C-alpha cells in the first residue's frame, strides 16, 4: 500500500509492502507528520517553535520532543565545528534536523509491525527490508542540472539517503562562518548514512562546508557521499561505489 500526501509543505510518500497493512496504518503515519509540522513549523504562528521564538514559551517549559530536538541540534553543531546552526539572528529554526529525525522516528515505529517499507519526505529517504521485486530498495540521484535524468542509482536496505542542494529550493543553506556568503561551489551533496536522521543532519552541515564537505563525510564511519560541483564534475567518497547499481 502506498500513499503520497502534501504535509510539512512538501510531498511525502509512505509505502508499506507487508501483507496486513491497512489504510489506518498509512493514516497513522501521516498523522505523525502532521503532529511534527504543528510543533516545529516556523511558518505556523501557533507552532511550539514559533511560540519559543516569540518569547511566549520558554524552552524549559516546552515539550519533550522540542527539548530533544534542540539538544540534538546543539550536539550536531558541536560535531560539525559549527557548520550546522539553527540560530538565525536570534530565531531558532531546527528544520535542518527535524525532517530526518521525524522520518527516522516513523521508521522505528513501523519496524514494530512491518519489515518492508519506504518513506520519502521531500527527498529524505528511509527504507527497510526489500522492495516489491524482492531486492534492496533502489534510490535514484537526480542530475541537478536536468532533474529528468538519474545520474546514479544506489541500493539500500536499512540505510537513510539525504540530499542537500540549491538546485530546487535555491540558497537555503548557508555557511555560518561566512555570513552573507552564497554557497555556489557545489550544487548537490547526497549522503548515505546508517539512518535518515544521521544522513540528513550531516548532509546539511557538509553542504555548508562547500568543497570540503565531502572530506568531512569521508571521515565519518558508516557514511558515504556523492557530490556535484558547479562545473558539473562529480566526486564521491571511497566507499560510495559499494552502494552503486551498475546495471
**CATH number of the domain residue 24 falls in:** 3.10.520.10
Length of the chain: 247
* Cα distance from N-terminal residue to C-terminal residue, the chain: 27
Collapsed DSSP state (helix, strand, coil) of residue 29: helix
User: pLDDT per residue over 35-63, tens digit each?
Assistant: 999 999 999 999 999 999 999 999 999 99
Share of the chain above pLDDT 90, in %: 84
User: pLDDT per residue over 86-125, tens digit each?
Assistant: 998 889 999 999 999 999 999 999 999 999 999 999 999 9
34-71 burial, b for 16+ CB within 10 Å, e for fewer? Answer: eebbebbbeeeeebbbbbbbeeebeeeebeebbeebbe
Given a contact cutoff of 8 angstroms between Cβ atoms, the answer to whether 128 and 159 are in contact is: no
User: pLDDT per residue over 152-192, tens digit each?
Assistant: 999 999 999 999 875 555 555 666 656 666 667 899 999 99
Question: In this structure, how many other beta carbons lie within 10 angstroms of the beta carbon of residue 226?
Answer: 25
- Assigned C-alpha cell, 30: 501521516
DSSP per residue, 50-96: HHHHHTSS-GGGS-HHHHHHHHHHHHHHHHTTT-S--EETTEE-THH
Domains held by the chain: number: 1
Is the entire prediction scored with pTM above 0.85? Answer: yes
Share of the chain above pLDDT 70, in %: 92
pLDDT of residue 167: 52
Across the chain, what does the average pLDDT equal? 92
State how far the Cα of 202 lies from the Cα of 116, in Å rounded to an integer: 26
Q: Domain limits at 206?
A: 2-243
Lowest mean pLDDT among 15-24, 124-133, 167-176: 167-176
Amino acid at each position: 500500500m502506498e500513499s503520497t500526501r502534501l504535509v510539512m509543505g512538501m510531498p511525502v510518500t509512505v509505502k508499506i509492502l507487508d501483507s496486513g497493512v491497512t489504510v489506518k496504518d498509512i493514516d497513522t503515519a501521516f498523522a505523525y507528520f502532521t503532529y511534527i509540522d504543528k510543533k516545529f513549523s516556523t511558518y505556523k504562528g501557533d507552532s511550539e517553535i514559533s511560540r519559543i521564538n516569540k518569547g511566549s514559551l520558554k524552552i524549559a517549559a516546552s515539550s519533550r520532543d522540542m527539548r530533544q530536538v534542540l539538544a540534538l541540534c546543539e550536539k550536531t553543531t558541536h560535531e560539525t565545528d559549527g557548520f550546522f546552526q539553527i540560530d538565525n539572528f536570534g530565531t531558532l529554526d531546527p528544520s535542518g534536523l527535524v525532517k530526518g529525525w521525524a522520518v527516522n522516528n516513523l521508521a522505528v515505529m513501523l519496524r514494530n509491525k512491518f519489515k518492508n517499507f519506504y518513506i520519502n519526505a521531500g527527498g529524505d529517504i528511509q527504507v527497510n527490508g526489500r522492495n516489491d521485486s524482492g531486492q534492496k530498495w533502489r534510490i535514484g540521484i537526480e542530475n541537478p542540472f536536468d532533474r529528468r535524468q538519474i545520474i546514479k542509482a544506489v541500493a539500500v536496505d536499512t540505510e537513510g539517503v539525504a540530499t542537500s542542494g540549491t538546485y530546487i529550493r535555491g540558497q537555503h543553506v548557508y555557511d555560518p562562518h561566512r555570513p552573507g556568503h552564497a554557497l555556489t561551489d557545489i550544487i548537490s551533496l547526497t549522503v548515505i548514512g546508517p539512518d535518515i536522521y544521521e544522513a540528513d543532519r550531516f548532509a546539511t552541515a557538509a553542504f555548508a562546508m562547500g568543497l570540503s564537505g565531502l572530506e568531512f563525510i569521508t571521515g565519518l564511519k558508516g557514511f558515504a557521499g556523492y557530490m556535484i560541483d558547479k562545473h558539473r564534475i562529480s566526486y564521491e567518497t571511497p566507499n560510495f561505489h559499494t552502494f552503486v547499481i551498475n546495471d
